Structure 1
Amino acid sequence: MAATQSLLAYLETEAPQRLPTQNTAPGPNTTNINYNYRDIKQISAWPEFSYNVILQQYGPELNTRQVVPDPMPTSPPRAIRDESLALRETFDQLSPQLLARQLTSIAFDGGTAANLVLNYKPDMAFVDIISDVGEGKNRCPGDLKAKEYRQVLAQVNFYMKQNGARYGFIITDTELVPVKRVSEDGHVAVATAIPWTQHGPGQLTILLGLWYLGMLAASNSWGL
């Protein structure tokens, strides 16, 4: 029988292969006449996006669910594959409680898995699993950027507004930056950035952070 480990251990004990930000276009980050840095009127902290809060909300599920690590090495990128497995295991365990907990089963995928509003394409998507490819709302759009995240907050905020989403994220070549849209008028909250190198018991890792973004996107309160 293959060795298993808790879902929490699976998400926190190994630094994953980085998503391919090196494949994004070189030079300045994406610009568009429909958004710019002036759209961000206020940036506040998001202290609730933390290891302790995640364990308070989902500790039993993370500690009791056993998973078999996927040995496949490269395709799709491991961070995407690991997130997909972790979310499948979570929603399978929570299946009898989804309605009561106001959750919807979702998947983590590339941006084209969701509906592209006016053909604008975020790099990543959290989307309802019952939606046809390219049809569902992107509940938590994400962008892969090789440059510093503050330059792309307006872009991710634009994607969130297009999809009516409360949550989003930016992945750079060094970190994951979770983002929450607080209001319609350009107020966003930004969590403490999670480095790719951060891993180990008790650490908020990239994989655990993405998993929690998935759970926030799965909530009935995902929209704004």
Structure 2
Amino acid sequence: MPTKSTILEELTKPLPKVVNHARPGANTTNPTWPDIGQWVEWTDFTAQKLRAQFRGIVDAEWTIRDNLYPRLSHWDTEFFDEDDAEHSIISRCIIPPVNAALSHALKRAKLDAAFDLNLGRAGRTYEDPSFDRRQKPDWALCSVDRKSTLSDGSFRYDNLLPGDSKLSNKWHSSWCQRSDLHPGYLQVWKDPVRQILSYCRHNRCRYGFLITDAELVVMRVTPMPTAESSVTTRQASQAEALAAHYRHISTSTTMSSLSSSLRDMSLDSSSSYRPTDLAEDGYIVEYRAIPWGNRGQQDLTVQLGLFYLAWLAGIGPNTLKFSYPSFDSCWPLLDGTFIHNTTGLALEKAVKLEYPDPAVERGPRWVETTDGQSVLTLKSVLTLDITHHQGRNYYYYLHDDGETQTPTLITAAFIIYDEENQLYGYFDSLVWKVGDPAEASTSSRRRRK
């Protein structure tokens, strides 16, 4: 019989008590894995902050027609090795309710036509021929629209959220902080974290997780750039920042007002998720440890933590970068819709305005037209600061280098050139429109000196 519930109610129920009979032993290790530069608490990943962002989704009514949780006997809740724990406990009890919640949440947010997410085993994911198959992740978040075609014509899904399973008597997040343990435990603690870093670097994604029979540890990773990489990647990062952010424009209700060529430029392609080398000096790892025994709607539980993390990785911007915007910030799409920089959700009104990639080079760029005039490029305008002019409309603007310090608003009087599609257009507030408005004039064009 169907029952009325909510995501918050379902994913904060107590988990089954499990019995670990596994023998202690060593974890997988590899000297080529990235180093841990910093291990710091992820202060934004809390029950209060996440619920504030997802309240309209996790608190909304959910009609459940099937039982989300299987009946378990004592045979099902005891395990003797990692493989046993993965198949008997995690695959059966932990993952299915999270996937059901993701499906319901996408429908609630009216994103189910654009996204279809599923958390499961990693055997279905893309595999670089140079990557050691023995060190493939245990878990993967996949989306039907994110896949790679292999040389034989078959395909594999991209892994948007790599995860790995460990046993609590072989790894715990607190071992790095306990002075009462043998010094060798520090190295034992490092290897699984470095393993997740290798997965994130390989899949070029910023989120990952470790799950044991005692806790879920969610992570956001940030490469620490070398002096050379911070310079050479600026141009590529700017293009990727815009592409990742504008991927969400496909769900906009005003999409029909944009040219098809502009949509092609805006949408993020699967190629942007292909692994690339980042020159880094270790990684900053922000983490949140969620105990297996957590329960109740005021706290993060293992399943609720997985739900939030999967949403951030599958819907929000996820590309691995040298810097990320503030957790509760936003930036507009080409149709003027404000998109949250972390959750990827469309907002009714703007919160803190912050460019999606704070580390890249930003600013205006002018190109010369055939008649000798200089006009701003579309991509450069999209990186400019935004002002809420007189508390009414939002505008991109140019900083005035003169004595008045008065910003120059990018209004419809400015003719803007889309280099990629060779189109002229203008901005009506923050909305990009193709064409030449009646109010546009050559006074907005600048001659090169």
For normalisation by structure 1, the TM-score amounts to: 0.84
Compute the displacement of 1:44 (Å): 2.1
Contact 1:65 1:93 (C-alpha < 8 Å) held by counterparts = no
AA in 2 matched with 1:5 = S
Runs of 4+ in 1 over 6 A off after TM superposition: 18-23
Determine if the alignment matches structure 1 residue 77 to structure 2 residue 92: yes
Long gaps (5+) in structure 1? none
Pick aligned residue for 2:25 from 24, 27, 32:
27
Distance 2:297 2:101 in 1: 17
Matches within 5 A, 1:49-198: 49-68=45-64, 69-73=67-71, 76-96=91-111, 104-117=115-128, 118=131, 119=133, 120-131=135-146, 135-146=156-167, 147-149=171-173, 150-151=189-190, 152-183=192-223, 184-198=280-294
Distance 1:201 1:46 in 2: 20
Partner of 1:216: 312
Query: Structure 2 vs 1, CA of residues 60 and 213 (structure 1 numbering), >3 Å: closer, same or farther?
Result: same
Match of 1:41, SS state, is strand
Cα displacement string for residues 31-56 of structure 1 (whole angstroms, at most 9, x for unaligned residues): 123226xx112222210001111111
Provide the alpha-carbon RMSD of the alignment: 2.7
Query: Structure 2 vs 1, CA of residues 82 and 114 (structure 1 numbering), >3 Å: closer, same or farther?
Result: same
Match of 2:312, SS state, is helix
Query: Structure 2 vs 1, CA of residues 5 and 130 (structure 1 numbering), >3 Å: closer, same or farther?
Result: same
AA in 1 matched with 2:15 = P
Distance 1:192 1:53 in 2: 13
Contact 1:177 1:190 (C-alpha < 8 Å) held by counterparts = no
Partner of 1:16: 15
Query: Structure 2 vs 1, CA of residues 137 and 47 (structure 1 numbering), >3 Å: closer, same or farther?
Result: same
Of structures 1 and 2, the one with the larger relative CO (CA 8 A, separation 6+) is 1
AA in 2 matched with 1:111 = A
Compute the displacement of 1:72 (Å): 3.4
Tell me which protein shows more helix as a share of its residues: 1
Could you tell me the percent identity over the aligned residues?
A: 27
Query: Structure 2 vs 1, CA of residues 57 and 156 (structure 1 numbering), >3 Å: closer, same or farther?
Result: same
Distance 2:205 2:111 in 1: 26
Contact 1:114 1:125 (C-alpha < 8 Å) held by counterparts = yes
Contact 2:215 2:290 (C-alpha < 8 Å) held by counterparts = yes
Partner of 2:36: 40
Distance 1:49 1:215 in 2: 13
Q: Which moved further from structure 2: 113-122 or 190-199? A: 113-122
AA in 2 matched with 1:144 = S
Match of 1:84, SS state, is helix
Compute the displacement of 1:17 (Å): 3.9
Q: Is the radius of gyration larger for structure 1 or structure 2?
A: 2
Cα displacement string for residues 2-28 of structure 1 (whole angstroms, at most 9, x for unaligned residues): 22211110111x1224799878x9621
Cα displacement string for residues 51-105 of structure 1 (whole angstroms, at most 9, x for unaligned residues): 1111111111111141424253367411011111111111122235887xxxx43
Determine if the alignment matches structure 1 residue 203 to structure 2 residue 201: no
AA in 1 matched with 2:195 = Q
Distance 1:81 1:67 in 2: 16
Match of 1:186, SS state, is strand
Query: Structure 2 vs 1, CA of residues 220 and 202 (structure 1 numbering), >3 Å: closer, same or farther?
Result: closer
Query: Structure 2 vs 1, CA of residues 19 and 176 (structure 1 numbering), >3 Å: closer, same or farther?
Result: farther
Long gaps (5+) in structure 2? 73-87, 148-153, 174-188, 224-279, 321-449
Contact 2:69 2:97 (C-alpha < 8 Å) held by counterparts = no
Tell me which protein shows more strand as a share of its residues: 2
AA in 2 matched with 1:41 = G
Q: How many residues align structurally? A: 216
Query: Structure 2 vs 1, CA of residues 113 and 18 (structure 1 numbering), >3 Å: closer, same or farther?
Result: farther
Compute the displacement of 1:140 (Å): 1.1
Query: Structure 2 vs 1, CA of residues 190 and 172 (structure 1 numbering), >3 Å: closer, same or farther?
Result: farther
Contact 2:39 2:287 (C-alpha < 8 Å) held by counterparts = no
Q: Which moved further from structure 2: 75-84 or 204-213? A: 75-84
